Amino acid sequence: MLDEIRTKWAEGKIKRIVSARILPGSDFISGVEKICIENGIKAGTLSGIGSLEKATFLIPAKKEGTKKGVGYSEPKTVMGPLEILSAKGFISEDSESDNGLFIHLHGVLCDDEGRLLGGHFLPGQNPTLLTLDVVIFEYENMSLSRECDPEIEMRVITPRSNR
């Protein structure tokens, strides 16, 4: 058992809720980014369900040369039809991205045989098959930014109160 429980947190409120549909052929993450840009959303959470033509994602993997001995796998691509049973994620600012946003999205999906799959979705590689229904909860008085954590040598989402 750990002697010390460590956390980083921030307090805020839900400013508004945006519900949207991502149309066939549109990438899941790119669709969320477009919705956020058009609505000025820079911090929040999202939830989604729907179907994909294919999915590309990462899963945790042992990785030598990292501080914790763990990283992400090589990308895994699964061809559809696929049903997203649950997708959850965070919207944060990212100074290293082209549009200033980072959509950190994980999901559980199943193939046409009912086999379960899932992981950390990669942008630009998850086209909508029929529809993707998304709900975004925008934060107020709190920001999220993607920053390097020197302890694990990875860029992670860091919450901050804006009061």
pLDDT band at 1 (very low <50, low <70, confident <90, very high): low
Q: Considering the domain boundaries, does residue 162 fall inside one?
A: no
pTM score of the predicted model? 0.93
Candidates 20, 9, 22; CA nearest to 53 is: 22
Q: Is residue 2 part of a domain?
A: no
Residue range 6-41, pLDDT digits in tens:
999 999 999 999 999 999 999 999 999 999 999 999
| Residues in the chain, total | 163
Check residues 21 and 66 and name the one with the higher pLDDT: 21
The kind and range of the H/E element at 44 are strand 44-58
Query: Does 148 fall in a domain?
Result: no
Where in the sequence is the domain holding 101, given as residue range(s)?
Answer: 14-141
- The count of domains in the chain is 1
Is the bond preceding 81 in cis, omega lying within 30 degrees of 0? yes
Q: Domain of 126: which CATH number?
A: 3.30.1330.80
**Burial bucket for residue 18 (CB in 10 Å: 0-12, 13-18, 19+):** middle
Element spanning 37, H or E? helix 28-39
Tokens for 117, please give them: 């799959």
Q: What's the pLDDT tens digit per position in 77-109?
A: 999 999 999 999 999 999 999 999 999 999 999
β-sheet bridge partners, residue 155:
148
Tracing tokens 């944060």 back to the chain, one arrives at 92
| pLDDT score of 42 | 97
